[in-house]
Structures are given as structure tokens and as C-alpha cells.
């Protein structure tokens, strides 16, 4: 698999959100692009970016550098969509990571591609595959591996993934750990499509619920998660900081 940034040849426009260039793509365009790049033998590492990750990239140069290596950055959350509108008058489609990941599974099941599931607690990836198979009977799992491994186990995991030769690698280690992990390993794994999918395996396995549509549509998915998982409160302090940084950028006219 060759690596080539999206900018080389695909001409997908971006919108800058506090230093993170988000690609302007609809869901359909994103999937088509992934399919085209795979056909062309180009590997694609996709990151679905939410407000929290943008703030982390501003705070931590390692996260910013990781995002700089990704091939494709899509707008995961309502916060990023709002910021694009506020800063650049650009209307982005919201592409939630769990939905994009499920589109990839659907594509894989229909096209006979193999998917490797890395991450979440022991047994969750297997349960997720079991549930997904009911919706997408053709789904072939190249392998499943939980995400609570020690540094000494990492080499074995990398070798296992390489040997399984997946077409799509879903990494559910949470953000930004999955991005840092993929920044370090994605190139040598040489997987056609790799994406960090956060808590998607927990959702598919029935261990976590997504916000109801009315909350998602109102941009309140973060509030639902805060109510369901109050331990996230500290992490969510990133959200008011995101709003503050976007408004400051807007007012400074840069
Ligand atoms: N996780 C993991 N290894 C770790 C820490 C987390 O596999 O060392 C998993 C965790 O079990 C969960 C996912 O990563 O399935 C993180 O989900 P979350 O919804 O918090 O994702 P985020 O919002 O951080 O993208």
C-alpha cells in the first residue's frame, strides 16, 4: 500500500478549525473516496475529529503532530460543524465516528473485505462483531483484540494484525490514544483503511447507548454522554474552552 495525502490528487477542500484542517466531504463522498483510494492502492488513515480532539491538539504537540500525519480528517461532532460555520461560513456535514465506522463495516460485508477490530474491554470486540453480523451477514472479521495491552504485548499485536491482512482496521482505544497509536504504527501495518472509532465497539455490543436522535440533531450528544458517564466531566471541560477559542479567533478576525 502506498501512502499519499488526500491533497495529492484528490483536491478535497479543507476548513481550518483552530489549526486542524477538516476535509469538506459528505458521507457519500467520504466513502467513495475511501473506496477509490483503496482501488488505487493508496492507504488511508481517517480521523473523525470532535471539539475535544481539537482542544487536545492545541494543548499537546504530540496530538497535533499525529493529526498532521493523518490522510483524512472528518467532522465528527456538532462542535466542529458549528466552528466551521462560525469561523469560515462553511457548512460541514456531521460524520459521527460510530456511523462512519458502521458504513465501513457495511461496505466490507458487501465487498468481501476483512475487518480487524482492535480495542475496548476483553470480549467487547467479539460481541460487537456478533451484533454487526446480524445486520451485515457477510461480515468477515480478520481478528479481534482487546485494547488493554501492555507495551510488551504491542509487538505481538502488530504482528498479529499484519498476519491477518485486514482491509479495514478499526481502532477503539479512545481519543487521542488511538490517534497516537495509529500515528506510530499505521504506516508499517500497511492496512488500506484505518480509523480510530472511540467507543463504537461498546455501542455495537450494546454496552453503551448513543444519544437519542433529537439530542444528536440539537448538537447535544456531549450532554447525553455527560449525564450517562459523569466521570467524563473533567474531559468535557475541553468543550467550553473550544467555544472560547473559536469565539476569540472569530473576534480577532484571523
Ligand atoms: N479503551 C481501550 N484501552 C484503553 C482505554 C480505553 O481499549 O487503554 C477503550 C474503552 O474500553 C472504550 C474506548 O476505548 O471502548 C473509549 O471509548 P470512549 O467512548 O471514551 O471514546 P472517546 O470518546 O475517547 O473517543
pLDDT digits (tens, 9 = 90+) for 25-68: 999 999 999 999 999 999 999 999 999 999 999 999 999 999 99
Q: Is the CB of 147 under 6 A from ligand 1?
A: yes
Contacts of 147 (CB under 8 A, 6+ apart): 118, 119, 120, 121, 172, 173
Given a cut of 50, the residues of the chain with pLDDT beneath it are 8-9
Q: How many CB atoms are located within 10 Å of the residue 95 CB?
A: 24
Rounded to an integer, what distance in angstroms lies between the CA atom of residue 116 and that of residue 129?
10
The pTM assigned to this predicted structure is 0.95
Q: Is the CB of 53 under 6 A from ligand 1?
A: no
Residue 9: the pLDDT is: 46
Residue 5: the pLDDT is: 58
Q: Is the CB of 144 under 6 A from ligand 1?
A: no
Amino acid at each position: 500500500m502506498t501512502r499519499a495525502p488526500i491533497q495529492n490528487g484528490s483536491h478535497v477542500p479543507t476548513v481550518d478549525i483552530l489549526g486542524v484542517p477538516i476535509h469538506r466531504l459528505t458521507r457519500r463522498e467520504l466513502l467513495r473516496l475511501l473506496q477509490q483510494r483503496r482501488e488505487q492502492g493508496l492507504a488511508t488513515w481517517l480521523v473523525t475529529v470532535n471539539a475535544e480532539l481539537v482542544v487536545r491538539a492545541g494543548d499537546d504537540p504530540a496530538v497535533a503532530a499525529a493529526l498532521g500525519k493523518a490522510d483524512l480528517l472528518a467532522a465528527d461532532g456538532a462542535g466542529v460543524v458549528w466552528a466551521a460555520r462560525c469561523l469560515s461560513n462553511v457548512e460541514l456535514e456531521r460524520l459521527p465516528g460510530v456511523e462512519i465506522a458502521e458504513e465501513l463495516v457495511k461496505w466490507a460485508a458487501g465487498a468481501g473485505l476483512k475487518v480487524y477490530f482492535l480495542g475496548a474491554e476483553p470480549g467487547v470486540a467479539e460481541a460487537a462483531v456478533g451484533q454487526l453480523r446480524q445486520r451485515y451477514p457477510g461480515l468477515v472479521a480478520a481478528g479481534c483484540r482487546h485494547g488493554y495491552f501492555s507495551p510488551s504485548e504491542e509487538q505481538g499485536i502488530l504482528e498479529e494484525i499484519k498476519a491477518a491482512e485486514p482491509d479495514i482496521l478499526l481502532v477503539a482505544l479512545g481519543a487521542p490514544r488511538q490517534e497516537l497509536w495509529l500515528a506510530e504504527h499505521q504506516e508499517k501495518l500497511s492496512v488500506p483503511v484505518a480509523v480510530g472509532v472511540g467507543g463504537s465497539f461498546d455501542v455495537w455490543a450494546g454496552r453503551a447507548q448513543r444519544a437519542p436522535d433529537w439530542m444528536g440533531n440539537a448538537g447535544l450528544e456531549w450532554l447525553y454522554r455527560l449525564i450517562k458517564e459523569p466521570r467524563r466531566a473533567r474531559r468535557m471541560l475541553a468543550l467550553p474552552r473550544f467555544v472560547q477559542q473559536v469565539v476569540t479567533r472569530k473576534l480577532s478576525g484571523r
